[in-house]
Each structure stands twice: as structure tokens, then as C-alpha cells.
């Protein structure tokens, strides 16, 4: 089994597909980092024009005032207990910024690395995974080499399993490079720190509304870890589905086309038909898992992180089962 996986990885390296994916990552991250740098500069100048203060030097004063204001609010007897934990979390963050002399208006590599994955998780990351996964089986079908693989003294399910495990490894490698590259590239723009800054998370949905009562601060590195873990899960699901299509379809181009159009269509569907109940069981609308962490999701009744994970898990396991059943039974006629 081990040597089968090694075979697959060596093929993947030689095919240069992985290299291509990494090149895309480098290009995109550089563009994003530059854009972020640019827009944060612009915000700062706007701020200083409007308020007559300089965001780079006077932020202490601003933060101090905001802190006092927040504390006042927290003391208000008319405030809901629910809102208060959100306030406390905000106060903690500001206090941290003041204590550690971190300008909250400044970007950091840590923030960027996280933001990048949060923005990539529903479209860009899946596209990269699709590029790798769609070729795994159909590539061998179209080149005819599948014949050579399946006439060895190795059962078919083992051949397929080795390919699937290789795919999972490659998903991790893609995330690894996404992380390392965005850390390095954005670090050049914004500096390399920021891994201990507190980030608010723990939002919940109660009766159709965002519930902030259990909000808490976690250090940035832990938050980033959670974001990348969810991204890995998304990669796993999208990878499994495109793997299945790669098994079912003989041409790589067709299998990339099918899964990509599904994905893009999913983004439209969630936009236009968000009140149509069945759409929530489609995998494409459940990909924005990190939104549950940051609390930036559209509160839709019944949709929670656990729900989305279960829906995605359902899709992944169905895909895997179909892949294996079909692959071990099908006639190879290429």
C-alpha cells in the first residue's frame, strides 16, 4: 500500500500539476497581499483626513476612548446579558492591543494568512483541489495507463485507495503551501508578528439570530489553526466529489468542467434561492465553514457548523462509496 502511494506521489510530482497549483498560489497571494497593503494605506489616510488625527500615531488615544466607552456600555443596567459577553470580548481585544502596543488598524501576516484562507475556502481552494483530484483517475483512463495498473497482482480497490490517500496527502500539502506562502509573502509587507493577538469566535445561532453570549477570545494562532482545519475538511469533501467524477468520467477536461460548473452554480444558487429549503443540503452552499467561526454568516434557521459539516460529510461518504463500487466493478475498455 505504502509503495502504491509512493508511486502516485511520484507521478503527481512528475506531472508538474502540483507545481502549477503552487505557482498559482504564489501569484494570487502576492496580488492579494499587495492589494491589502494598498487599501490599508488608503484607509489610514482617509481616517486622518476625516478625523484630523493620524491613525499611525494617535491610535492609542482612540483606543483608550473606545475602551472607556465600551466599559461604560458594559456597566449600563439596561444592557442585555447576551450582548455583554460580546462587549467583554471587544474590551479584551482593545486592552491587548494597548498593552502590547499593536495598532489594530495595521495588518499583520497572521491576520492576512487567516483572511486569505477565509476568503479562499468556498471557491479558490476548491478549484485548486479540483485541479489535482480530477486528473487522478481520468488521467490514467485517457492515457490508457489504467490498463497497466489494473493487470498487476493488486486488487482494484487497493489501487483506488492508494490514489485516494494520495489525494488527501496532496490536500494537506496545498494547505501547507497556502499557509507558508501567505505567511512569508504577507510578512514582507506587514511584518511577521501577530500570532498571539486575541480573535473573537464562538458565535452561535439561537432561534434564527446570531447569539453572542458565548463569544470568547482565542489567540490568533489557534484561530488560524481552526480556519485551516476547516479548510482541510472542505478540501477533503470537494476532493472526494471530484475524485468520484474522475472515476465516472474518462476525460480529465470533462471531469474538471463538471465539478467546476457545479461549484460556480452553487454560489449562484445560494445567492438567489437562499430561502428555498433544499438548497441547504447542497454541498456548494455549505463550504463557507469559517464564517461560523467569525460570526459573519447569514443567520439561516437550522444552519450551524455541525449541520454544514454533517451535510458535507454525507456528500463525501456518498462520493467515496460510489467511487469504489463503480471502480471495482467497471469494465475497462480504453
Partner 1 sequence: MFKKSMWYSILVIAFVGFVILANGFYQAILVTTQANPQPTSESAPLESAADLTPSSKNPNTIQMLILGDSVAKGTGDEKSKGFSGYLSEYLKNNTSKEIIADNAGIDGLESTGLLEQLQSHRLEEQLTHTDIILVSIGGNDIRSILTLNSFDKENEFKVRLDRYLSNLKLTFKELRRTNPNSIIIFLGLYNPYEKATNLVDSQLLNSWNFNTQQLVETDGKAIFIPTYDLFKYNTERFVAQDGLHPNSAGYQAISNRISRSLEMIIAGL
Partner 2 sequence: MPQTPVLELTNLRKTIKGKDIVKGINLTLHPSQIFGFLGPNGAGKTTTIRMIVGLIKPTEGSVKICGYSVAREFVKALSNVGCIIESPDMYQYLTGMENLLQFAAMNKAISQQRIKDVIEMVGLQHRVNDKVSTYSLGMRQRLGIAQAIISKPKLLILDEPTNGLDPAGITEFRNLIRKLAYDEGMTVFVSSHILLEIQQMCDIVSIIKQGSVVKTANIQDLLQDNDKIEWQLSDPETAISLLREHWNIQASQLKKNTISANIGPHPLDKLNEFLISEGLALTYCSATRNTLEDLFLDLTVGDEIV
Minimum CB distance to partner 1 smaller for 121 or for 245: 121
Minimum CB distance to partner 1 smaller for 42 or for 158: 42
Minimum CB distance to partner 1 smaller for 282 or for 309: 309
**What does the H/E/C string look like for 179-216?**
HHHHHHHHHHHHCCCCCCCEEEECCEEECCEEECCCCE
Binders of partner 1: how many residues, by CB under 8 A? 56
In 3D, which of 242, 309, 298, 253 has the Cα closest to residue 273? 298
Does residue 315 bind partner 1 (CB under 8 A)? no
38 CB neighbour count, 10 Å cutoff: 11
Q: Identify the residue among 54, 100, 143, 296 touching partner 2 (CB under 8 A).
A: 143
Minimum CB distance to partner 1 smaller for 5 or for 322: 5
Q: Which does 168 bind (CB under 5 to 8 A by kind): partner 1, partner 2, none?
A: partner 1
Is residue 302 left, alpha or beta, with left meaning phi > 0 and alpha meaning psi from -120 to 50? left
CB 108 within 8 A of CB 88: no
Distance (Å, whole) CA 276 – CA 279: 6
Shortest distance in whole angstroms from residue 4 CB to partner 2: 7
**Strand 216-219 vs strand 198-201: parallel, antiparallel, or unpaired?**
antiparallel
Q: Identify the residue among 45, 76, 143, 298 touching partner 1 (CB under 8 A).
A: 76
Q: Identify the residue among 49, 50, 52, 151 touching partner 2 (CB under 8 A).
A: 151
Q: Which three cell numbers stand for residue 165?
A: 490517500
Q: Identify the residue among 9, 91, 150, 254 touching partner 2 (CB under 8 A).
A: 150
Shortest distance in whole angstroms from residue 151 CB to partner 1: 25
Q: Which does 15 bind (CB under 5 to 8 A by kind): partner 1, partner 2, none?
A: partner 2
* Angle at alpha carbon of residue 289, lines to 298 and 177, rounded to 5°: 135
Q: What is the CA radius of gyration of the chain?
A: 23
Site string for partner 2, 155-194 (x = CB under 8 A): x---------------------------------------
In 3D, which of 235, 194, 218, 190 has the Cα closest to residue 295? 218
Distance (Å, whole) CA 190 – CA 188: 6
* DSSP 8-state code for residue 20: H
In 3D, which of 295, 286, 275, 101 has the Cα closest to residue 210? 295
- Which helix (H) or strand (E) segment is 210 a member of? strand 209-211
Local structure of 295: helix, strand or coil: coil
Does residue 16 bind partner 2 (CB under 8 A)? yes
Q: Identify the residue among 23, 172, 188, 265 touching partner 1 (CB under 8 A).
A: 172
Binding site for partner 2 (CB under 8 A): 3-4, 6-7, 10-11, 14-16, 143-145, 147-155, 329, 331-333
Binding site for partner 1 (CB under 8 A): 6, 9-10, 13-14, 46, 49-53, 61-62, 65, 69-70, 72-73, 76-79, 81, 84-85, 168-170, 172-173, 175-176, 201-204, 213-216, 218, 222, 225-226, 228-230, 232-233, 289, 292-293, 304-306, 309
Amino acid at each position: 500500500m505504502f509503495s502504491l502511494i509512493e508511486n502516485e506521489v511520484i507521478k503527481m510530482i512528475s506531472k508538474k500539476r502540483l507545481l502549477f497549483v503552487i505557482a498559482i498560489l504564489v501569484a494570487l497571494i502576492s496580488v492579494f497581499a499587495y492589494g491589502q497593503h494598498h487599501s490599508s494605506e488608503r484607509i489610514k489616510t482617509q481616517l486622518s483626513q476625516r478625523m484630523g488625527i493620524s491613525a499611525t500615531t494617535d491610535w492609542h488615544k482612540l483606543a483608550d476612548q473606545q475602551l472607556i466607552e465600551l466599559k461604560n456600555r458594559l456597566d449600563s443596567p439596561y444592557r442585555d446579558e447576551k450582548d455583554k459577553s460580546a462587549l467583554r470580548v471587544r474590551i479584551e481585544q482593545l486592552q491587548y492591543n494597548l498593552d502590547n502596543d499593536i495598532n489594530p488598524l495595521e495588518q499583520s501576516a497572521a491576520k492576512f494568512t487567516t483572511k486569505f484562507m477565509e476568503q479562499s475556502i468556498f471557491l479558490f481552494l476548491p478549484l485548486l483541489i479540483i485541479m489535482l483530484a480530477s486528473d487522478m483517475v481520468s488521467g490514467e483512463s485517457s492515457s490508457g495507463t489504467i490498463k497497466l495498473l489494473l493487470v498487476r497482482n493488486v486488487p482494484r480497490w487497493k489501487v483506488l485507495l492508494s490514489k485516494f490517500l494520495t489525494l488527501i496527502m496532496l490536500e494537506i500539502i496545498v494547505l501547507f503551501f497556502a499557509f507558508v506562502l501567505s505567511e512569508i509573502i504577507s510578512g514582507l509587507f506587514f511584518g511577521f508578528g501577530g500570532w498571539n493577538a486575541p480573535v473573537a469566535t464562538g458565535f452561535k445561532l439561537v432561534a434564527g439570530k446570531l447569539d453572542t453570549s458565548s463569544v470568547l477570545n482565542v489567540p490568533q494562532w489557534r484561530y488560524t489553526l481552526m480556519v485551516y482545519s476547516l479548510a482541510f475538511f472542505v478540501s477533503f469533501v470537494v476532493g472526494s466529489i471530484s475524485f468520484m467524477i474522475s472515476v465516472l468520467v474518462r476525460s480529465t477536461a470533462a471531469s474538471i468542467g463538471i465539478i467546476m460548473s457545479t461549484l460556480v452554480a452553487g454560489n449562484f444558487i445560494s445567492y438567489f434561492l437562499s430561502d428555498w429549503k433544499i438548497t441547504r443540503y447542497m454541498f456548494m452552499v455549505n463550504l463557507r465553514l469559517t464564517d461560523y467561526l467569525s460570526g459573519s454568516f447569514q443567520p439561516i434557521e437550522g444552519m450551524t457548523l455541525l449541520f454544514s459539516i454533517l451535510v458535507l460529510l454525507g456528500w463525501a461518504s456518498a462520493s467515496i462509496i460510489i467511487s469504489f463500487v463503480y471502480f471495482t466493478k467497471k469494465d475497462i475498455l480504453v
